[in-house]
Amino acid sequence: MGEIIEISEKEKERRRKISEYRKRVIKEKREKGLKEYFKKKKKEKALAEKKKQREKEKEKKRKEREAEKKKHKRPVGRPKKRGPKKKYKRKKKTEKKKVSRSLPPFIYKIISCKNGKQNKLIGKYRNIEDAYETFNKLKDNDKNIIFPIFSYGNNQLKNSIDEYVLIEKNDDKDSSMLRNEYGVVVEHKTNKDGWIIIDKFRYLKEETFWVWGYDKKSDRKTFMWIFENLLLNAFHGYENKMICTYKNKIVIKSDNGDIELIFCKSHEDAIRFYNLLEKYSKKNKLKHAIFIGDFSKVSSKRRKLENELIEYTGLSKRKIQMKNTSFFLNN
């Protein structure tokens, strides 16, 4: 076996200083590299802006030249004949037969309904082809929805069922047979005489969230706005961000102690938000976004988080411990 060599305290101290020095030098080089990178990007952006401005000015001058040419251009058509004008006898007016040009009535409508009640008129149509053209286009809108609304309500949360309904004016029928969400054929009626339902489908709407620091009613934010502004583009250097759920809230905490707080309608929505945030973070390779789970159960970690949120927001403990937004909607 090899001989074990003991290292003196002085040698250990020397090696520790060398290690710290190397770490400091590497860190300084990284920071310097980042500064140079951002400086380069800023310069490229300024050059692009200048180029865009030059192109705008060139286009403006070109349009001015074309307008100037049009002023001096000879008018289209033959020139006027010289000499006295020839007199023509005025022809007698013949009475024209009046032709009825009235358009057919609107017998189709597309309406938006929430939980069976109309909340918006989408459009009126004279024929079934035009109505279905718009109806089918509306179906494609769901592809752009990232975080759909599943519930709504002030005093209590209810399921949100949003539907587009195609109705037809028909005095001979008062109901129609259509399939429900379970595929069973059932009778469908409207509360307006002379109109029947001929088609419908359920559509999705984008959910919005109250972010602490913004108005909870007039300045609500979408999932993508929160992801891009509070996570994707919010990292400074090599800091980490801890993300967790607490009841109906999403908490994003930075190494320097900064907190971002997002209020969802319910604990279920908060879990959906958390999972989708984790999915988008992995997709964008955010290695410094650390997802640490749920803090809703009673524990020392939860009490610490509650105290931090109370200090950050100035809200009472009762308000922080609310599990949905009904309290805030009523107050």
Task: Note the maximum CA span of the chain.
Answer: 132
Burial (Cβ within 10 Å: 0-12, 13-18, ≥19) of residue 163: middle
Question: Residue 192 pLDDT more than 90?
Answer: no
Contact 107, 168 (CB under 8 A): yes
Q: Identify the band that residue 11 occupies on the pLDDT scale cut at 50, 70 and 90.
A: confident
Q: What is the pLDDT of residues 199-258, one digit of tens each?
A: 898 899 899 999 999 999 899 999 999 999 999 988 888 889 999 999 999 999 998 889
Concatenated DSSP letters of 40-105: HHHHHHHHHHHHHHHHHHHHHHHHHHHHHHHHTSPPSSPPPPPSPPPP-PPPPPPPPPP---PPPP
> The tokens 């959910």 sit on which residue?
207
Collect all residues with Cβ–Cβ distance below 8 Å to 193 and sequence separation of at least 6: 174
Cα-Cα-Cα-Cα torsion 108, 109, 115, 119, nearest 10 degrees, comes to -160
Q: Of the ranges 12-26, 87-101, 191-205, which one carries the lowest mean pLDDT score?
A: 87-101
CA distance 54 to 279: 42
CA distance 268 to 55: 52
